[in-house]
Amino acid sequence: MAFKKKFTPRKKFCRFCADKALPLDYKRADILRDFVNERGKIIARRITGTCAHHQRKLTVEIKRSRQMALMIYTATHACDVKKKSVL
Protein backbone atom coordinates (compact mmCIF):
# COMPACT_ATOMS: atom_id res chain seq x y z
CA MET A 1 0.00 0.00 0.00
CA ALA A 2 1.40 3.34 -1.04
CA PHE A 3 1.64 6.09 1.52
CA LYS A 4 0.39 9.52 0.57
CA LYS A 5 2.69 12.42 1.22
CA LYS A 6 1.22 15.09 3.45
CA PHE A 7 0.86 18.49 1.90
CA THR A 8 3.21 20.96 3.56
CA PRO A 9 2.62 24.53 2.43
CA ARG A 10 5.56 26.72 1.60
CA LYS A 11 6.48 29.37 4.15
CA LYS A 12 5.18 32.72 2.95
CA PHE A 13 7.43 35.72 3.24
CA CYS A 14 7.19 39.42 2.58
CA ARG A 15 8.92 40.33 -0.68
CA PHE A 16 9.59 43.85 0.53
CA CYS A 17 11.19 42.75 3.83
CA ALA A 18 13.32 40.15 2.07
CA ASP A 19 14.58 42.55 -0.62
CA LYS A 20 15.20 45.99 0.84
CA ALA A 21 16.17 47.34 -2.60
CA LEU A 22 12.72 46.56 -4.04
CA PRO A 23 10.92 49.92 -4.14
CA LEU A 24 7.30 50.23 -3.07
CA ASP A 25 6.25 53.13 -5.26
CA TYR A 26 3.11 53.98 -7.22
CA LYS A 27 5.22 54.58 -10.35
CA ARG A 28 6.29 50.91 -10.45
CA ALA A 29 3.03 49.45 -11.78
CA ASP A 30 4.81 46.27 -12.89
CA ILE A 31 5.52 45.36 -9.25
CA LEU A 32 2.08 46.44 -8.04
CA ARG A 33 0.28 44.29 -10.63
CA ASP A 34 1.55 41.17 -8.84
CA PHE A 35 -0.65 42.11 -5.87
CA VAL A 36 -3.84 42.80 -7.87
CA ASN A 37 -5.97 40.08 -9.46
CA GLU A 38 -7.35 40.20 -13.01
CA ARG A 39 -10.56 41.85 -11.83
CA GLY A 40 -8.63 44.69 -10.22
CA LYS A 41 -9.04 43.66 -6.58
CA ILE A 42 -6.14 43.94 -4.14
CA ILE A 43 -5.07 40.47 -3.01
CA ALA A 44 -5.16 39.81 0.75
CA ARG A 45 -1.94 39.51 2.73
CA ARG A 46 -2.78 36.00 3.91
CA ILE A 47 -2.55 34.91 0.27
CA THR A 48 0.46 36.99 -0.85
CA GLY A 49 2.44 36.65 2.38
CA THR A 50 3.12 40.36 2.70
CA CYS A 51 3.62 41.65 6.25
CA ALA A 52 1.04 44.01 7.77
CA HIS A 53 3.28 47.06 7.53
CA HIS A 54 4.00 46.61 3.83
CA GLN A 55 0.41 45.55 3.04
CA ARG A 56 -0.83 48.92 4.30
CA LYS A 57 1.80 50.75 2.24
CA LEU A 58 1.03 48.55 -0.76
CA THR A 59 -2.67 49.40 -0.59
CA VAL A 60 -1.94 53.13 -0.51
CA GLU A 61 0.48 52.87 -3.46
CA ILE A 62 -2.00 50.82 -5.54
CA LYS A 63 -4.69 53.43 -4.91
CA ARG A 64 -2.28 56.22 -5.90
CA SER A 65 -1.35 54.34 -9.05
CA ARG A 66 -5.03 53.96 -9.95
CA GLN A 67 -5.60 57.67 -9.34
CA MET A 68 -2.74 58.53 -11.70
CA ALA A 69 -4.20 56.11 -14.31
CA LEU A 70 -1.20 53.78 -14.23
CA MET A 71 -3.40 50.86 -13.16
CA ILE A 72 -7.04 49.96 -13.76
CA TYR A 73 -9.80 50.17 -11.17
CA THR A 74 -11.87 47.24 -12.49
CA ALA A 75 -11.85 44.78 -15.38
CA THR A 76 -14.33 46.93 -17.32
CA HIS A 77 -11.73 49.72 -17.45
CA ALA A 78 -9.23 47.49 -19.23
CA CYS A 79 -8.64 48.12 -22.91
CA ASP A 80 -9.06 44.37 -23.59
CA VAL A 81 -12.74 44.46 -22.67
CA LYS A 82 -14.96 45.86 -25.37
CA LYS A 83 -18.13 47.63 -24.36
CA LYS A 84 -21.34 46.95 -26.20
CA SER A 85 -22.25 49.84 -28.41
CA VAL A 86 -25.86 50.94 -28.28
CA LEU A 87 -27.23 52.10 -31.61
Q: What is this structure's pTM?
A: 0.76
Homologous superfamily assigned to 15-77: Ribosomal protein S18 (4.10.640.10)
- Terminal-to-terminal C-alpha distance of the chain: 67
Q: How far apart are CA 70 and CA 30, in angstroms?
A: 10
Write out pLDDT tens, residues 52-69: 999 999 999 999 999 999
Write out pLDDT tens, residues 26-36: 999 999 999 99
